[in-house]
Amino acid sequence: QKEVEQNSGPLSVPEGAIASLNCTYSDRGSQSFFWYRQYSGKSPELIMFIYSNGDKEDGRFTAQLNKASQYVSLLIRDSQPSDSATYLCAVIQASGGSYIPTFGRGTSLIVHP
Amino acid sequence: NAGVMQNPRHLVRRRGQEARLRCSPMKGHSHVYWYRQLPEEGLKFMVYLQKENIIDESGMPKERFSAEFPKEGPSILRIQQVVRGDSAAYFCASSPRLGALGGSSYNEQFFGPGTRLTVL
């Protein structure tokens, strides 16, 4: 059973701070990792993907992957109230030809002014 | 520049009726995925299709649910004899291809706006 775990939150941070969102996964064969943002009542929107150990930066967002510890995190620098949303972690195990992502339940982020 | 399109955006059905949800993938995308999301829950995979083929339907309930992606036209998720428990948001996502990058695999999915199904 593939599992992707996220703290449901809410995670509350002040405007301008760094928000740190974490995700752990159970399947060691996982190879691709995605972060989606979902505003209330809207559809998920892809923020970043990462597949190699280490950090990947894109603007204010940094994804960090540690395959040995089986976790992936998303850092949001200079958090803005507009970043308030639910952040979904998704993991794909490529072996066996199945590219179906498993999603976590998401972490609710609140950035307060 | 059309993204993934879904219709209807909102659908109300009475118990026992049929619900048909449509999804048109992004231009150039040949892979379609259907997900269901209940309030306060994550996305649950239902079915993965390519044109005229069901690739993986491991997340689809065995009864009342079916999906297709014909050679022409949108993908359709069909729910027969709906029950109140079917009330949820149904999202479709599309991707351009499966691929390998640096020895790993990746599969970016782009989501449609969803169909909110309410069963009375």
Interchain contact, A105 vs B106, CB within 8 Å: no
User: How close A7 gets to chain B, by Cα (Å)?
Assistant: 12
pLDDT over threshold 70, residue A1: no
**Could you give the CA distance from residue A47 to residue B91 in angstroms, rounded to a whole number?**
17
**Contact across the interface for B42 and A106, Cβ inside 8 Å:** yes
Are A24 and A71 in contact by the 8 Å Cβ rule? The answer is yes
Q: Is A88 on the interface with B (CB under 8 A)?
A: yes
CA of A29: which chain B residue's CA is closest? B104
In angstroms, what separates the C-alpha of A44 from chain B's closest C-alpha?
6
- Encode chain A in three state secondary structure: CCCEECCCCCEEEECCCCEEEEEEECCCCEEEEEEEEECCCCCCEEEEEECCCEEEEECCEEEEEECCCCEEEEEECCCCHHHCEEEEEEEEECHHHCCCEEECCCEEEEEEC
| Smallest Cα distance from A24 to chain B, Å | 15
User: Cβ of B107 and A105 within 8 Å?
Assistant: no
pLDDT in tens, A58-110: 999 999 999 999 999 999 999 999 999 999 999 987 655 567 888 999 999 99
B85 vs B73: CA distance, rounded Å: 29
Q: Could you tell me if A35 and A94 are in contact, meaning their C-beta atoms sit under 8 angstroms apart?
A: no
Q: Identify all chain A residues contacting B59, using CB atoms and an 8 Å cutoff.
A: 100
pLDDT of residue B109: 85
- Tokens describing residue A7: 């703290």
Q: What are phi and psi of A65, to 5 degrees?
A: -125, 130
Burial group, residue B73, by CB count within 10 angstroms (0-12, 13-18, 19+) = exposed
Question: Do B42 and A104 count as a contact with CB atoms less than 8 A apart?
Answer: yes
Nearest Cβ partner of A101 from B104, B109, B110? B109
pLDDT digits (tens, 9 = 90+) for A8-21: 889 999 999 999 99
Mind telling me how many Å the CA of B64 is from chain A's nearest CA?
A: 22
Residue A46 touches chain B, beta carbons under 8 Å: yes
Residue range B100-115, pLDDT digits in tens: 444 444 567 899 999 9
Q: How far apart are CA B5 and CA A16, in angstroms?
A: 35
Specify the pLDDT at position A28: 86
Q: Which residues of B touch A98 (CB under 8 A)?
A: 56
**How high is the mean pLDDT in each 10-residue block of chain B (120 residues)?**
89 98 92 90 90 90 95 95 96 77 61 96
